[in-house]
Amino acid sequence: MTTRQLGGGIEVGPIGLGCMGMTHAYDASLRDEAESVRVIHRALDLGATLIDTADVYGPFTNEELVGRALAGRRDRAVLATKCGYRSNPDGPGLVKQADPAYVRASIDASLQRLGVDHVDLYQLHRVDPAVPLEDTWGAFAEVVAAGKARAVGLSEATLDEIQRAHAIHPVASVQSELSLWTRDWLADVLPWCRENGVAFLPFSPLGRGFLTGAMGTDRAFEKGDFRAANPRFQPQALTANQAIVDAVRAVAARHGGTPAQIALAWLLAQGPQVVPIPGTKRVERLEENVAAAGLVLSAGDLAELDALPAPVGARY
């Protein structure tokens, strides 16, 4: 399998693995730790070497699971984790925290949970508006200087924030939502990444499952699945957004592929710096996703997909 690069020359497979759903946010009844471990092992076997987690997933249990799965296989993985979000002590949801002391404590706690002496990529999960970004990013630079991370990146940051961080210490990657139904970063951040040798890591590249084509308009979500309250997954929005899936399915039929593979191939076609990290808890879905790296879309396919309508419903 051909490889792509994070900033700093860290090579990864063209498609990575997002591990969040193995312990967090989606239907808890479908979680199976043994199967999740098999998924991570199979990802490494297939060359999907970028394994992405975060301290807040669980919280904490996702890093512990990934650590157990990578025991004895650490040298085969490009291990990425994050800090900057934490559970809200005053109610549901998450709050941002990224002061330097918190960053220093968080990396040490993550390394302990993961059972490693360093990660390959340490990411700021969200910029904390209460802390000057320069202070936060200075602490991330300290993490690299201490040998606790090989490189650092940001998630869901604006172009201005990325540029300010990059002026202090090189930004290796930007992780933000990008897919056929979320294109917010195409105009500015993605071109900047291309020009500056910075990787772009699309999370939710399959539209939180919607772009697989397997989700009917009457889909009901289990308690604890955050899509139950997500605007794009309400019945009226699901019905309206079927037009997007139908168009993707038509392209897939021409290639003998699946809608998920077309959605991933479209992302890969956005540039060599793009490394999607679809999440899955099943080996067969992982294998389907990784196979998308071998699917080449024509100029006509790309034009057709580029012309898809915007989705009904906000991202959050």
pLDDT for the residue numbered 84: 97
For residue range 31-54, list pLDDT tens digits in order.
899 999 999 999 999 999 999 999
- Name the class of domain 4-206+271-295: alpha beta
Q: Name the token pair of 142.
A: 């300290």
pLDDT for the residue numbered 90: 77
pLDDT for the residue numbered 27: 65
Mean pLDDT of all residues belonging to the chain: 94
Residue 79 banded pLDDT, cuts 50, 70, 90: very high
Looking at residue 48, its amino acid is A
For residue range 5-15, list pLDDT tens digits in order.
999 899 999 99
Residues of the chain with pLDDT > 90, as a percent, come to 84
For residue range 243-279, list pLDDT tens digits in order.
999 999 999 999 999 999 999 999 999 999 999 999 9
pLDDT for the residue numbered 219: 78
Residue 215 banded pLDDT, cuts 50, 70, 90: confident
For residue range 144-183, list pLDDT tens digits in order.
999 999 999 999 999 999 999 999 999 999 999 999 999 9
pLDDT for the residue numbered 60: 95
Residue 104 banded pLDDT, cuts 50, 70, 90: very high
pLDDT for the residue numbered 25: 62
Domain boundaries, the chain: 4-206+271-295
pLDDT for the residue numbered 158: 98
Residues annotated catalytic, as ranges: 57
